[in-house]
Amino acid sequence: MQPVIMPIEDILDLHTFKPREIPDLLVDYFAACIEADIYSVRIIHGKGRGMLKKRVQGLLKKNPMVESFRDAPLEAGGWGATLVELKPKPA
């Protein structure tokens, strides 16, 4: 299977990914964002029953690249999205 090439932007929509892909995806995506000098990322996980949101936020808590995260404001997806601040590259 060929890898999927994704543009590195400040929004990551998880709707097209399988739950088992998300841990590695977040690590790889955040590393690519930092390399591209993108330090604020909006992760769209959807509302549903909140299972994916809980999983994503649990992964964010453990990720050393993450400075902080919070629920998105209503105009950016509300509780269906999470805003993530990444740590800058070491000097």
Q: Span 57-62, mean pLDDT? A: 97
DSSP single-letter state for residue 64: T
Pairing of strands 11-13, 40-44: parallel
The CATH number fitting domain 14-86, selected from 3.90.320.10, 1.10.10.10, 3.60.21.10, 3.30.1370.110: 3.30.1370.110
Q: Span 61-79, mean pLDDT? A: 94
Q: pLDDT tens-digit profile of 1-53? A: 666 666 789 999 999 898 899 999 999 999 999 999 999 999 999 888 888 99
Question: What is the pLDDT at residue 28?
Answer: 94
Structure tokens at 76: 């950016």
The model scores a pTM over 0.85: yes
Question: What is the pLDDT at residue 3?
Answer: 64
